[in-house]
Structure formats: C-alpha cells, structure tokens
C-alpha cells in the first residue's frame, strides 16, 4: 500500500514535470506549492517553491482567485511579451479551499492562431462539400437566387426565410410558374435538413392508381407485377429531409385521408404492409388551385387543409410585381445565353413597355419561354419588342369599353400568328402553312402587326 502510493506520487510528479502545458499550484495565500519544468523554464526561474506567485509570474491573478474562489477560464495573460491563455481554478477539499491550480494552454497565442487557421480551412472545405452534396441531392436553389425586390415578394421571402428554420409544414400557393417549387427548394436549403434529401412528388402527374404506392411504397408481393422485394415510397426516401407535394389540390380524396394520418402520426404504412414505419420528414405542399373552393366542391378535405395550412406562403403573380421584371430579364437572359449560346448584347427600349403591358398568365416560366423564343427569332444581337411575339391587346381587360368587331378580329388574328410562330420556332414558312395562308399573305400580316424583323 505504502509503496503503491509512493509510486503513484512519483508518477504524478513525472507527469506534471513533463507536461507540455505550464502548470502552477499555489496555496490559498498565493505561495507556490508546485511549478512544473515547462513553466519554470518559460519564466526563467528555477527556485520557486514557497515564493509568492506575484514575485515569479508577471500579471498573475492566482492570488486573486485564491481570495475570490471564482475560477477564471481562458483569460489572456501577457508574460515575457507574449499573450498566453491562462486558466485559474480554485481547488476545494472538505468544503475548504486548499489550493489554486493554474495552467497555460498555449504559451504563445501564435499557436492558437495557427490552430484557428486550420479550423478555418476545414470550415471552408466543409462548406464546399456541403454545397456539392446539396447539388447532388437536388435542392439547387437558395433564397438569394429568388429574384424579389418588390415589397410583396420581400414580404413572402422574409416569411419563408423565418419559417425555413423550423420544421413547420408549409403550404405554398400561387399561380402556375410563379416560383413555388423554387421557394420549396430554398426553404429546404436554409433548414437544418439541408444535408438530407429533397424529394418532389407531382401529385397531378402520377396516375391516381399509382400515387399511393409512389408516396408510401409497397411490400413484397403487395400486388401482382410489383417488384418482388417491395419498394420504398417517396416519404421514406425523404426521411430526415423534405418532401414537396406539388399540385396537392389534385390529390384524390382517399389518399388525402391517408396523407392526413401520415402527417398526424409521423408514420407511413406501405401498401400491403403490416407495420407502420416511423419517418422524420418535413412536408411542403404547393398548389395553384384555390383549395377553399376545392373544399366547397367536396374535392379537398377540410381537416387536411388545416393540417397543411400552418404557414401559407402566397407567391404574388408577376403582373403584381413589375419592379422585378428588369432583374428577372437580366438573370433569365444570362441563363439562356449560357444554355443556347445565343448572345443578346442590347435590349431595345420598346421591349420594356411590352413586357410591362403583358399580363403574364404563365408568370416567370412564361417569361423565360418568351425570352428563349425571342432569342431564336432575332437576327443580330439586339432584342426587340417584335421578337417577343406576345400580344398585349388580347390580354388587356376591356377597361375602355367594348372593343370594336374589327379590333377583336385583328387581336385574334395577331394572336393566331404569334401562336403559329411560337409553335414553329419562328419558321415563317411553316407558320404560314399551319395557318393555311400563302407565304406572301403571311408576310403582309406580319408587317401589319409589326411582327416583321
């Protein structure tokens, strides 16, 4: 026993003496009881035992901690012209302070800076891999890519950014092409689930008979023709991530009941399955339909609506945010120039009046299509109004009274020409054929409606 404790003491002494950290222990009066070699070498004094700590160590506060009894952690202490990181901790035994332990973790803050630089580099690498990972998982849009300078868009973006941080179910409504999917991506990318999967299901595009197994999966042998081993549904695939239920307004009623159960229980049951599977999924639903109207028609469950409608983001249509047009046109042209290789160097002034006058029923998706078509139609590198091939006249509400028959006929004729040109990618001969008129007659009409290059 005696020998054991002697050995133990020797071991402790050796450990303390050889530690890389500088270590000092004082009694409650501030007299040094122990100071290891690292510390003695650093201050350049060997004979230290029994001396007051202030005589040996510059700027020390060991004696102050001995009085206050309050530990001081990670304090900068300047010794011999170097900033050090000092910890001073009172040691208690039987409720009485018996000593104060002081350590210096870094003898030189430069070591700490080197460590910080390494951490910084690791952080940068981590951010890079996060971005790459996210790109592979498909959530490619972020809030800063959503053009929205207009006050109504700012409001929606702010709310979306706030709600992204939580796990709340979000319902995104808005006309077709307003950017609902874009918002869903951005919410996922700004959430704590950003590293998880982002899965989109278009409820309108999948046949009713398949939707259930697509969403919830099926067990082995659930129905004839099913893959033997069974299959995970989109909900299971979205575990720890986000699922976007696009066009939720088109979901068949029986499935709505099942979806409601999933949202309530946070469990899915595969088709033909016996045991429910727990899932951790954030649900975002989107629709361009008026869900209240669908409820009145008996086509959408009211209880599901309230479950989804925790936070609603209503994306304003493009015609209600004309301030966003210039930035959108800029961004879209840039993307299109890259994908088509066609260069637009100049935008003629008349383009803007047409863009502002048009009501954009297909919103930003339509704007993109119109610009892409115009790029293919234009000759040279200046985009002009006539290249847009959108008819603003048939689009305007008849605020100035009923149009004359001639005006109506002309509007219809112009719209038919524009549509034919769009269909044929700007090929005039083909367009004339489609409309069943001669080439020369077609050119006359193009001239009449200001559509000739």
| Residue 150 contacts ligand ATP per CB under 6 A | no
With a CB cutoff of 8 Å and minimum separation 6, the contacts of 71 are: 65, 87, 88, 89, 90
| Residue 217 contacts ligand ATP per CB under 6 A | no
Nearer to ligand ATP, 364 or 420 (CB): 364
Selected from 134, 180, 234, 414, the binder of ligand ATP by CB under 6 A is 180
Give Cα 392 to chain centroid, integer Å: 36
Selected from 90, 102, 177, 426, the binder of ligand ATP by CB under 6 A is 177
**Contact flags string 289-328 toward ligand ATP, x per CB under 6 A:** ---------------------------------------x
Q: Which stretch binds ligand ATP (CB under 6 A): 25-33, 180-188, 298-306, 372-380?
A: 180-188
| Residue 233 contacts ligand ATP per CB under 6 A | no
CB 325 within 8 A of CB 355: yes
| Residue 174 contacts ligand ATP per CB under 6 A | yes
Selected from 182, 271, 374, 375, the binder of ligand ATP by CB under 6 A is 182
CB 385 within 8 A of CB 353: yes
Tokens of 69: 């009894």
Q: Which stretch binds ligand ATP (CB under 6 A): 6-14, 173-181, 423-431, 438-446?
A: 173-181
Residues in 347-366 at the binding interface with ligand ATP, rule: CB under 6 A: 364-365
| Residue 424 contacts ligand ATP per CB under 6 A | no
Q: Which stretch binds ligand ATP (CB under 6 A): 33-41, 43-51, 145-153, 265-273?
A: 145-153
CA nearest neighbour of 277 among 322, 244, 343, 231: 231
CB 199 within 8 A of CB 238: yes
Nearer to ligand ATP, 25 or 147 (CB): 147
Q: Are strands 231-232 and 217-218 parallel, antiparallel or unpaired?
A: antiparallel
Alpha helices in 165-301 (DSSP H): 180-189, 208-216, 234-237, 253-265, 291-296
413-417 own/partner pairs: CB under 8 Å, 24+ apart = 413/445, 413/449, 414/449, 414/451, 415/391, 417/442, 417/445, 417/446, 417/449, 417/451
Alpha helices in 138-165 (DSSP H): 151-164
| Residue 155 contacts ligand ATP per CB under 6 A | no
Nearer to ligand ATP, 289 or 396 (CB): 289
d(CA 33, CA 24): 8
Selected from 84, 100, 147, 313, the binder of ligand ATP by CB under 6 A is 147
| Residue 61 contacts ligand ATP per CB under 6 A | no
- What DSSP designation does 262 have? H
| Residue 36 contacts ligand ATP per CB under 6 A | no
| Residue 176 contacts ligand ATP per CB under 6 A | yes
Nearer to ligand ATP, 158 or 453 (CB): 158
Q: Which stretch binds ligand ATP (CB under 6 A): 33-41, 170-178, 234-242, 254-262?
A: 170-178
The size of the interface with ligand ATP (CB under 6 A), counted in residues, is: 18
Angle (CA) 294 297 300, round 5° = 45
Radius of gyration of the chain (CA): 36
In angstroms, what is the minimal distance from the CB of 296 to ligand ATP?
21
- What DSSP designation does 403 have? P
**Which residue minimizes CB distance to ligand ATP?**
179
In angstroms, what is the minimal distance from the CB of 140 to ligand ATP?
10
d(CA 106, CA 112): 7
352-to-293, 348, 360, 379 alpha-carbon distances in Å: 36, 8, 14, 19
Burial 435-451 (b: 16+ CB within 10 A, else e): beeeeeebeebbeebeb
Secondary structure element (H or E) that encloses residue 172, with its range: strand 170-173
| Residue 90 contacts ligand ATP per CB under 6 A | no
Position of tokens 């008979």? 209
| Residue 414 contacts ligand ATP per CB under 6 A | no
Selected from 30, 90, 102, 148, the binder of ligand ATP by CB under 6 A is 148
Nearer to ligand ATP, 273 or 362 (CB): 362
| Residue 63 contacts ligand ATP per CB under 6 A | no
327-to-107, 137, 225, 276, 364 alpha-carbon distances in Å: 54, 28, 51, 48, 12
| Residue 173 contacts ligand ATP per CB under 6 A | no
| Residue 179 contacts ligand ATP per CB under 6 A | yes
| Residue 200 contacts ligand ATP per CB under 6 A | no
In angstroms, what is the minimal distance from the CB of 154 to ligand ATP?
12
CB 147 within 8 A of CB 182: no
In angstroms, what is the minimal distance from the CB of 281 to ligand ATP?
20
| Residue 373 contacts ligand ATP per CB under 6 A | no
Contacts to ligand ATP by CB under 6 A: 146-148, 174, 176-182, 246, 288, 328, 331, 364-365, 368
């Amino acid at each position: 026993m005696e020998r054991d404790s002697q050995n133990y003491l020797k071991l402790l002494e050796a450990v303390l003496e050889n530690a890389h950290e500088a270590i000092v222990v004082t009694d409650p009066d501030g007299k040094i009881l122990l100071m290891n070699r690292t510390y003695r070498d650093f201050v350049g004094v060997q004979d230290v035992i029994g001396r007051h700590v202030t005589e040996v160590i510059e700027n020390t506060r060991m004696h102050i901690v001995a009085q206050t009894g309050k530990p001081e952690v990670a304090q900068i202490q300047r010794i011999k012209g170097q900033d050090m990181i000092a910890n001073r901790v009172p040691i208690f035994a039987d409720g009485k302070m018996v000593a104060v332990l002081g350590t210096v973790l870094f003898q030189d803050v430069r070591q700490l800076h080197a460590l910080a630089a390494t951490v910084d580099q690791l952080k940068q690498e981590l951010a890079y891999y996060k971005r790459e990972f996210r790109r592979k998982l498909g959530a490619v849009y972020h809030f800063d890519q959503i053009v929205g300078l207009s006050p109504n868009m700012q409001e929606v973006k702010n709310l979306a950014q706030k709600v992204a941080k939580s796990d709340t179910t979000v319902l995104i409504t808005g006309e077709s092409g307003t950017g609902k999917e874009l918002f869903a991506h951005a919410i996922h990318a700004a959430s704590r689930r950003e590293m998880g999967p982002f899965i989109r299901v278009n409820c309108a595009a999948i046949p009713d008979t398949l939707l259930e197994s697509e969403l919830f999966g099926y067990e082995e042998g659930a129905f004839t023709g099913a893959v033997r081993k069974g299959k995970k549904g989109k909900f299971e695939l979205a575990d720890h991530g986000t699922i976007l239920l696009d066009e939720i307004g088109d979901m068949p009623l029986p499935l709505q009941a099942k979806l409601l159960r999933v949202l309530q229980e946070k469990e899915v049951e595969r088709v033909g399955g016996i045991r429910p599977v727990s899932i951790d999924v954030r649900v975002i639903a989107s629709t361009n339909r008026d869900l209240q109207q669908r409820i009145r028609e008996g086509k959408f469950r009211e209880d599901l609506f309230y479950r989804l409608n925790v936070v609603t983001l209503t994306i304003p249509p493009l015609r209600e945010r004309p301030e966003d047009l210039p930035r959108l046109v800029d961004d879209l042209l840039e993307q299109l120039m890259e994908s088509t290789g066609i260069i637009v160097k100049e935008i003629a002034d008349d383009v803007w009046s047409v863009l502002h006058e048009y009501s954009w029923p297909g919103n930003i998706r339509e704007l993109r299509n119109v610009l892409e078509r115009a790029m293919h139609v234009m000759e040279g590198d200046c985009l002009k109004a006539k290249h847009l091939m959108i008819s603003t006249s048939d689009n305007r509400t008849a605020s100035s009274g009923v149009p004359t028959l001639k005006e109506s006929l002309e509007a219809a004729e112009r719209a038919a020409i524009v549509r034919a040109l769009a269909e044929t990618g700007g090929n005039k001969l083909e367009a004339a054929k489609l409309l069943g008129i001669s080439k020369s007659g077609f050119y006359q009409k193009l001239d009449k409606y200001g559509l000739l290059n």
